[in-house]
């Protein structure tokens, strides 16, 4: 009987080991766990929400709609996937990061925004206040521009006084130009826009938080 009990225990141990060894594989193959991990990657990145421009398009995915906006503030982070080369002078055009439009059906008519672009010479990103007044573009001057390397986070604030950008110890503020009048009843948050004239030359992305 003693020999039988020892053999039985030995067999039980042999059967239990594979079951324990398979447990991590079963957890890894769990589709619910995989879905939750994907959601964490999408919504829980400390850099914020990933904003994407598909190749050949102007529009940001997902959009950042909002209405009756008094201010837009948060952070932005450009990454390696944000780099682009248009191959011509349109490289100097300003893309739109976020901001406030007072003519939401025509956001390029009257708006206060954060502009951005990639500088091929310095291999850094540039951000600056950007305005539209009755369809006229108020372009940034050299003193309005902040340069930042890849994977660096900046802070932005767009309100009814102007656009404020901060990176490290550098802050730029540019007030509303003459002719641009805020109106909360038509104020809408601006979603990202690539261009300028040209569409995204490849699929691009960056990170955005809105506080």
How far apart CA 136 and CA 120 sit, in angstroms, is 27
How far apart CA 44 and CA 38 sit, in angstroms, is 10
Structure confidence at residue 28 (pLDDT): 46
Structure confidence at residue 149 (pLDDT): 98
Q: To 10 degrees, the CA torsion angle through 124, 129, 131, 137?
A: -40
Structure confidence at residue 27 (pLDDT): 41
State the pTM of this model. 0.79
Boundaries of every domain in the chain: 2-42, 49-210
Number of other CB atoms surrounding residue 109 within 10 Å:
15
Q: What mean pLDDT, rounded, does the chain reach?
A: 87
N residues, the chain: 211
Are 104 and 188 in contact by the 8 Å Cβ rule? The answer is yes
How far apart CA 125 and CA 148 sit, in angstroms, is 5
How far apart CA 40 and CA 10 sit, in angstroms, is 43
How far apart CA 10 and CA 99 sit, in angstroms, is 70
Q: Does domain 49-210 have CATH number 2.60.120?
A: yes
* Regions of the chain with pLDDT less than 70: 1-43
Are 200 and 84 in contact by the 8 Å Cβ rule? The answer is yes
């Amino acid at each position: 009987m003693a020999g039988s009990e020892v053999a039985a225990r030995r067999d039980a141990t042999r059967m239990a080991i594979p079951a324990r060894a398979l447990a991590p594989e079963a957890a890894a193959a769990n589709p619910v766990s995989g879905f939750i991990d994907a959601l964490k990657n999408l919504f829980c990145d400390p850099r914020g929400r990933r904003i994407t421009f598909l190749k050949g398009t102007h529009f940001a995915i997902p959009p950042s709609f909002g209405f009756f906006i008094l201010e837009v503030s948060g952070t932005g982070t450009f990454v390696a996937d944000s780099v682009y080369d248009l191959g011509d002078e349109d490289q100097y055009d300003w893309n739109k990061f976020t901001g406030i439009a007072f003519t939401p059906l025509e956001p390029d008519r009257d708006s206060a925004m954060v502009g951005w672009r990639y500088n091929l010479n310095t291999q850094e990103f540039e951000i600056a206040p950007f305005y539209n007044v009755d369809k006229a573009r108020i372009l940034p001057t050299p003193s309005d521009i902040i340069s930042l390397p890849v994977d660096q986070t900046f802070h932005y604030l767009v309100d009814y006084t102007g656009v404020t950008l901060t990176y490290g110890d550098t802050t730029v503020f540019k007030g509303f130009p003459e002719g641009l009048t805020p109106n909360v009843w038509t104020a809408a948050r601006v979603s990202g826009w690539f261009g300028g004239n040209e569409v995204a030359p490849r699929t691009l992305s960056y990170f955005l938080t809105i506080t």
